[in-house]
């Protein structure tokens, strides 16, 4: 069943109210659980945080602000923070990239 626009807006707002800081495993991602997954492409190779252990990794939210953009037609939420994690080559998980002290900024927009 396709949700009505109002149901879709309610779903969106429910999903972005809390900002998760846990890294997902592949199984958790497949089950659509809340959490963080980092993807990266380098030299044509795909890397993903869900393909291996994240012991010692961190995902910190330093700010999460929300409001209405100028004109009043778009709800906006901006999430800023830092992360440290391991990214595993999806074709050969022995290929690992260590990400340290990376800054991120996520901007979510929803038309009202």
pTM value?
Answer: 0.75
Paired tokens of 44: 């044509």
Would you say residue 109 has pLDDT above 90?
no
Query: What number is the average pLDDT over the span 74-99?
Result: 94
CA-based nearest residue to 12, from 51, 66, 87, 57: 66
The Cα 37–Cα 105 span in angstroms is 14
pLDDT at 8: 56
DSSP 27-93: HHHHTT-S-B--EEEETTEEEEGGGS--TT-EEEEEEEEEEE-TTS-EEEEEEEEEEEEEEEESS-T
Average pLDDT, the chain: 86
Tens-place pLDDT, residues 36-47:
999 999 999 999
**Mean pLDDT lowest for which of 1-5, 6-10, 88-92, 93-97?**
1-5
């Amino acid at each position: 069943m396709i949700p009505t626009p109002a149901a879709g807006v309610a779903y969106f707002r429910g999903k972005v109210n809390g900002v998760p800081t846990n890294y997902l495993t592949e199984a958790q991602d497949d089950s659509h659980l809340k959490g963080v997954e980092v993807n990266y492409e380098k030299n044509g190779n795909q890397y993903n945080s869900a393909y291996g252990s994240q012991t010692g990794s961190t995902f910190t939210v330093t700010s999460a602000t929300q409001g209405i953009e100028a004109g009043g037609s778009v709800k906006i939420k901006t999430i800023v923070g830092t992360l440290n994690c391991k990214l595993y080559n999806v074709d050969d998980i022995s290929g690992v990239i260590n990400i340290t002290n990376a800054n991120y900024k996520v901007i979510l927009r929803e038309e009202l």
